[in-house]
Amino acid sequence: MQAGATDARRAAVLGSPIAHSLSPALHRAAYEALALTGWTYDRFEVDEAALPGFVDGLGPEWAGLSLTMPLKRAVIPLLDEISETAAAVDAVNTLVLGEDGRRIGDNTDIPGMVAALREHGVEQVDSAAILGAGATASSALAALARVCTGEIVAYVRSEARAAEMRQWSERLEVEVRIADWTDAAQALGFPLVVATTPAGATDALAAAVPERPATLFDVLYDPWPTELAARWSMFGGAVVSGLDLLVHQAVLQVEQMTGRSPAPVEAMRKAGEHALAARRDGRP
């Protein structure tokens, strides 16, 4: 049901830690652009232990929640329904409350990745590489299943990470070749490289960027650019950033929670850019 412009509705992002989240800036910008004057979007510090009580306390004014770490898996037992996309990676980043009070879980990270790539002209590739095998790598693998028609290679640091990636490969029914991190420079020659590693982890690879790189999807957005992304751009390659992902997954959340479509992508992007600039400058 489409939300009215003056309906008093609430939404929020939960996680721990949560003070860094850009979600309030993105969602509030969307509400303003859509003239949803009665809507509010907040952030709450909530850990796994506190999550059931928080969700049980949601009243009829609540439209939904955005969920970040460590809640993406912890919320699943609290749901009445979960999308196939979220079930595939065992991670929910979106909880929508239906009119009947049903709790519906979804994962907008995966289609958000696909949308961010499409925005940069990447519809399909014949091979791809993933740098890292942490929590984000499973979503990256699920997204690549939709855009990559050939080989996917994951470069990992340990056998434990390799085992995790093999499990995700089997679960998602996507064939993945595992390679050691010491050979990660080889990944940079692929048509699409998805970096899912923490800040600083790919800095040493910047010197290995080829003269004509293709597309890099670096899921980080703060600090930005990473050394790898900066070098990639300098050599003329296409770069998709973590902010692109954040915006597109939030776009899908706004559409689900408000019933309004399309969500205002550019207004949300500008709000994210402004919030990041303010953070870098030490402004509120």
Q: What is this structure's pTM?
A: 0.94
Which DSSP category does 146 fall into? Answer: H
- Which amino acids are annotated catalytic? 72
Q: What would the two tokens of residue 276 be?
A: 């990041």
Q: Please name the helix (run of DSSP H) or strand (run of DSSP E) that holds residue 15, with its range, or none.
A: strand 9-15
Give the rounded distance of the alpha carbon of 122 from its chain centre: 17
Report the distance separating Cα 113 and Cα 136, nearest Å.
11
Query: What pLDDT score does 3 carry?
Result: 52
Q: What is the mean pLDDT of each run of 10 residues along the chain (284 residues)?
A: 66 97 98 97 98 97 97 98 96 95 97 98 98 92 97 96 95 96 98 97 98 97 96 98 98 98 98 94 76
Q: Which of 205, 213, 194 is nearest to 131 (CA)?
A: 194
**Residues 139, 153, 156: CA angle, nearest 5 degrees:** 75
Q: What would the two tokens of residue 233 be?
A: 């751009």
Query: What pLDDT score does 1 carry?
Result: 43
Query: What pLDDT score does 69 carry?
Result: 93
Report the distance separating Cα 196 and Cα 120, nearest Å.
18
Specify whether the CB–CB gap between 55 and 274 falls below 8 A.
no
Query: Cα separations (Å) of 245 from 65, 222, 283?
Result: 18, 13, 24
Residues 6 or more apart in contact with residue 160 via CB below 8 angstroms: none
What are the backbone angles phi and psi of residue 122, rounded to the nearest 5°? -100, 100
Query: What pLDDT score does 4 carry?
Result: 52
Specify whether the CB–CB gap between 122 and 215 falls below 8 A.
yes
Specify whether the CB–CB gap between 282 and 225 falls below 8 A.
no
- The residues with which 43 forms a beta bridge, in sequence order, are 13
151-174 confidence digits (pLDDT tens): 999 999 999 999 999 999 999 999
Query: Cα separations (Å) of 87 from 73, 82, 195, 219?
Result: 10, 6, 23, 22
68-110 confidence digits (pLDDT tens): 999 999 999 999 999 999 999 999 999 999 988 899 999 999 9
Query: What pLDDT score does 135 carry?
Result: 82
SS3 221: coil
What are the backbone angles phi and psi of residue 129, rounded to the nearest 5°? -125, 145
